[in-house]
Chain A
């Protein structure tokens, strides 16, 4: 725990140094003379940064606060469309990029707030279905918009390609730091307490509705920003990019990395993308592999049969307690 300004300064400097080192290493690897990360891999690296931001946001909602959301892609699309619309009408410079990204995050956050008030009362699988429904409604509504406004089913293009490695990297790093610090605060603890036991945390004076809303809005805010960066990364967006499948893909990252584990989310995003590159010509096999991973991980971590327990002990895996793991802010 940090209580004084000296340790705070130390830990901040450490964090900044770590971020700078990662950045420098990436940059050196991208140099044309070295060319370990060639232009093709650079796009993958950017994709990883965007997905890290998306997945961290979902982890805050689902892993840390325990509110199952299957509509994350819908909120991403809100950010993506907001930013794309702004950038199609304004000139592109650093200021407008930042404004459009923030606008994307804020609009997504506002919509999440409005959706969250009625739905966050729902528990577990019901919430999952309600958010899935909202995600789909957002997609369908964008689909039915006028062609001159948001492009309808045909999508929006050409959006200026304004995202670059620096922007998405800083976004992912900031997102990580924000969520990490929230976790180490009373807000983070209250979120974990809601996941652990709603009735107990309510009796201890935690306003669970507010806590859920906070996590939901913060998580979708990051989804919105990631969406904004996605628009400037692909240059062409259409409603069907943000369907239910996309939400599941993000969920998959969060689950594979460990619900509530933000380092795991980063690692899982990188690993899944590496698998994706290796299997880029075999999209179906990749999806089959992902699906199998999902099933096997769930069975290994939550299963109760004797042979599973034996395997778990043999491989020294800790049983995954869904309603929470680890200390808040440890």
Chain B
């Protein structure tokens, strides 16, 4: 079953066609990679899939766990997030001046089940829901080994942990499909290895479909089940890691062509 289906999407900025007629899909529980040289349009595709940009052409649909197909074209990001689509950002967008725990709790605000008045009088519902949020946040933080730092400011975490917190925050929204924009950027080899394992664990534990953009080929080839390759806004290849590695178009895009 496809949980995400984007058909023939294109987007034009001014005169520039940043993404041209791209069709991609994700099956339930898949771990997809989206690779390509800088400026190929990878993040732009993420932005379209999460509602930040509306595609100029094409359609995007998600199928949630209850089987309903939802067309998200032109939907606002917060609504897209509410149907179970979440993401991280290339340039880390944590709430830097808030604690690790608050970062997590904000992701759950959409499920807030008490009113403002309930918050003011601290109603029974308020107590229950706050407790529920807290427990859920701690559980996810434990999975990424950040529960010991729950009261620290996000900005004070080391870089690698900030990346992990961003992933944890995306999962805390209750997402079914998560888009990770360069999760291993700026990490050293051992951190990257650890992250690869962590992503696998989280995917299985939370029953996620994951799509990730990454430049670290070792990382991508190791964990992704299927890979899309993008160059100049056009999809140039699709397949399992082995096929991608030997695809002449991909090699050309990354290394350039030899002039005879």
Binding site for B on A (CB under 8 A): 1-5, 8, 12, 177-178, 181-182, 184-190, 192-193, 196-197, 199-208, 214, 218, 321, 323-330
Nearest B-chain residue to A193, judged by Cβ = B106
When the two chains form their complex, are residues B112 and A186 in contact, meaning their CB atoms are under 8 A apart?
A: yes
Most interface-central of A3, A205, A323, A327 (chain B CB within 10 A): A205
Distance in Å: Cβ of B234 to nearest Cβ of chain A: 26
| A327-B98 contact given A186-B108, A189-B105, A204-B173, CB 8 Å threshold | yes
Contact with A along B78-101 (1 / 0, CB 8 A): 100110001101000111111100
17 further interface pairs, Cβ-Cβ under 8 Å (given A200-B94, A324-B97): A4-B127, A5-B127, A178-B120, A181-B120, A185-B114, A186-B112, A186-B129, A187-B109, A189-B109, A192-B98, A196-B97, A201-B106, A203-B89, A204-B86, A205-B110, A328-B98, A328-B102
When the two chains form their complex, are residues B95 and A193 in contact, meaning their CB atoms are under 8 A apart?
A: yes
Binding site for A on B (CB under 8 A): 50, 52, 76-78, 81-82, 86-87, 89, 93-99, 102, 105-110, 112, 114, 116, 119-122, 124, 126-127, 129-131, 133-134, 151, 153, 169-170, 173
The docked-state distance in angstroms from the alpha carbon of A178 to that of B121 is 8
The docked-state distance in angstroms from the alpha carbon of A48 to that of B134 is 38
When the two chains form their complex, are residues A192 and B78 in contact, meaning their CB atoms are under 8 A apart?
A: no
The docked-state distance in angstroms from the alpha carbon of A55 to that of B20 is 52
When the two chains form their complex, are residues A207 and B78 in contact, meaning their CB atoms are under 8 A apart?
A: yes
| A206-B97 contact given A3-B134, A177-B120, CB 8 Å threshold | no
Contact of B89 among A4, A200, A214 (CB under 8 A): A200
Pick 7 A–B contacts, CB within 8 A, sort by A. A182-B119, A187-B116, A199-B93, A206-B106, A321-B97, A324-B96, A327-B98
When the two chains form their complex, are residues A3 and B105 in contact, meaning their CB atoms are under 8 A apart?
A: no
The docked-state distance in angstroms from the alpha carbon of A206 to that of B139 is 21
The docked-state distance in angstroms from the alpha carbon of A281 to that of B208 is 69
Chain B residues near A3 (CB-CB < 8 A)? 127, 130-131, 134
Chain A residues near B102 (CB-CB < 8 A)? 189, 192, 327-329
| A202-B107 contact given A1-B134, A182-B116, CB 8 Å threshold | no
| A218-B116 contact given A3-B134, A202-B78, CB 8 Å threshold | yes
Chain B residues near A8 (CB-CB < 8 A)? 122, 127
Distance in Å: Cβ of B24 to nearest Cβ of chain A: 20
| A205-B119 contact given A189-B102, A190-B109, A200-B95, CB 8 Å threshold | no
The docked-state distance in angstroms from the alpha carbon of A264 to that of B96 is 22
| A186-B134 contact given A196-B96, A208-B78, A326-B97, CB 8 Å threshold | no
Distance in Å: Cβ of A121 to nearest Cβ of chain B: 12
When the two chains form their complex, are residues B81 and A204 in contact, meaning their CB atoms are under 8 A apart?
A: yes
Chain A residues near B94 (CB-CB < 8 A)? 197, 200
Nearest B-chain residue to A181, judged by Cβ = B120
Nearest B-chain residue to A5, judged by Cβ = B127
Nearest B-chain residue to A199, judged by Cβ = B93
Chain A residues near B81 (CB-CB < 8 A)? 202-205
| A204-B116 contact given A3-B131, A3-B134, CB 8 Å threshold | no
